[in-house]
Structure 1
């Protein structure tokens, strides 16, 4: 017991900075939940003090592995998102994102929602009011989704209908990934009502909105919107299938266990399946699709209360790993 207490009191966290705000907010949420001192590192910088554990997200695992080696292999590695070409048995814990298509195992914890906006002090999603405007949180095209001019027009038309049906105002909130061609459509459409374009910080928009519309490309924004407790509507963008995803689908038609075996050996990186996750969210009643069918119930809202315990579960797994870690003196004796 005493060694466990000492291991926690002397523990620290190093976060590999990916430069992606949504990813880093999840790492920060987990580090803060653990109640341990933490810091960022980037550009292959090696800090002077050895961390107890390293948090890496996505492709940052490569840098995390180099840092682990620089400290004699001692720090634990907690990976958020599927690890690329690294056997899960080589990692201490893998926190899989909800869209990750990756086999379950003793080192994995598959999240139902990203950790954006998660708060230990709030174990359930609050029942919020629907007072305030309908705010459209615009994303943009990614490797997995396209975002055409027609998508922008259909999205705005449906959002306008939702606002009209609920007797509320409409606000359109551009994001850092929103392409110029979509912004041109937005600015032209609201040339006579420019106040509909809301460029305030996301936190302000979330607090003052009554309903939220999120484009399907951003898992982080879906989590941020859902955790407000406000009705969250999901606009389904056309899905792109990268070559790796096409190969995955072909392999699964033959023998899905073969692909999982290759992943467990670190020979294959795994894949993503956003559509499966989005369908699950709709089936669970956590979000509403902004489709013709979905608009038939404009006053839809989530059932309450809804538990939100995933950050606590992640924290507990990390703390247990640190507590079970052998003291430095014991490792030296071995």
Structure 2
């Protein structure tokens, strides 16, 4: 196994990392898919060593927020008044995700007394400008300071899932077997179509026929026209309506905790790898379209035992639950400690 090495060496802000809890900044533009990656990584680090986590949501002044990285693109000088401030004293570790954060990460790391800078996803920038890069393996990025992950970091924990599952079950009732459907939607490479919806409804109806109670949640990507088709086609299913369920604001963790098997649309690396956290059978729900990198992701999940093509609702299998966030946190902390020597 190749040993990770941090990007080009330079001084760090604090010489004694054991003196106080580490300060972590989780930097994103606030979109759930981005924020969850850095918060999940921060929370995993906090399970390993004392940490103080500060969430930083950035807002770039228009029109610079829509421009590519460069002289006119996002920068610290172009943060909007509504943005969280980004200024010294810097944290010990800067965790960032998303296109808009990349120039900020590069800018901060070039400063004197800069933090240890970690970027998730493919930054599409010179890798030496970061201490550690955590891209999806299906992006095929490589480098001395690159640790590819199956999918992306997440905020899942067995404790949280079990706790929310109990609370959710108190609202929806018990069942002998539960199938959970995580439904996404349109993306750059995939499109939700009427035919795709019909195939999903058939798969979930088959799960009901096999004795599973079906619980469904939609993502922000799901087109509005899709939801009535699920309500009509699966009248016995429980479909989250976006409102609080008892004491739970968002039942996502509880749904994963209740699941005996999961059905997930093909376009979402986050939902697929979240489902793989459970160790339960996962069925891929196809959408129109695709791309080579998504086929690589699906193939890696098949190789791990998560997905089984053509499996039915009566088929059962297990696999080692995916723990990529924990693997990333272990590697990050080890690299940080080596860099601080």
Give the alignment's TM-score, normalised by structure 1: 0.73
Kept in 1: contact 2:106–2:130 (CA 8 A): no
- C-alpha deviation, 1:97, in angstroms: 1.4
- C-alpha deviation, 1:194, in angstroms: 6.4
Provide structure 1 residue ranges, at least 5 long, that are not aligned to the other structure.
123-129, 242-271, 328-334
Which residues in structure 2 correspond to 1:298-309 (within 5 Å)?
298-304=313-319, 306=320, 308-309=322-323
**CA offsets 1:72-97 (integer angstroms, 9 cap, x no match):** 3622211111112x111222111111
State the 4+ residue runs in structure 1 displaced beyond 4 angstroms.
117-122
Match of 2:214 among 158, 164, 170: 170
**Which residue does 1:183 correspond to in 2?**
227
Could you tell me how far apart the structure 1 residues matched to 2:257 and 2:177 are?
9
**Which residue does 1:198 correspond to in 2?**
240
Could you tell me how far apart the structure 1 residues matched to 2:306 and 2:205 are?
22
- C-alpha deviation, 1:121, in angstroms: 8.7
Which residues in structure 2 correspond to 1:1-334 (within 5 Å)?
6-10=16-20, 11-35=22-46, 36-41=51-56, 42-43=58-59, 44=79, 45-59=85-99, 60-69=101-110, 71-72=111-112, 74-84=114-124, 86-102=125-141, 104-119=142-157, 131-164=176-209, 166-190=210-234, 193=235, 196-199=238-241, 201-240=251-290, 273-289=293-309, 293-295=310-312, 298-304=313-319, 306=320, 308-325=322-339
Query: How many correspondences in the alignment?
Result: 276
- C-alpha deviation, 1:142, in angstroms: 0.5
Could you tell me how far apart the structure 1 residues matched to 2:211 and 2:329 are?
42
Could you tell me how far apart the structure 2 residues matched to 1:326 and 1:210 are?
44
Larger helix proportion of the pair: 1
**CA offsets 1:30-66 (integer angstroms, 9 cap, x no match):** 2122232121222233244211221111312123223
Kept in 2: contact 1:119–1:311 (CA 8 A): no
Q: Kindly tell me: are residues 204 and 324 of structure 1, through their superposed partners in 2, closer, same or farther at Cα, counting changes over 3 Å?
A: closer
Structure with the bigger RCO (C-alpha within 8 Å, sep 6+) is 1
Could you tell me how far apart the structure 1 residues matched to 2:32 and 2:41 are?
14
Aligned-residue Cα RMSD (Å) equals: 2.9
Could you tell me how far apart the structure 1 residues matched to 2:131 and 2:194 are?
44
Could you tell me how far apart the structure 2 residues matched to 1:310 and 1:158 are?
29
Provide structure 2 residue ranges, at least 5 long, that are not aligned to the other structure.
1-12, 60-78, 80-84, 161-174, 246-250
What SS class does the counterpart of residue 16 from structure 2 fall into?
Answer: helix
Kept in 2: contact 1:16–1:64 (CA 8 A): no
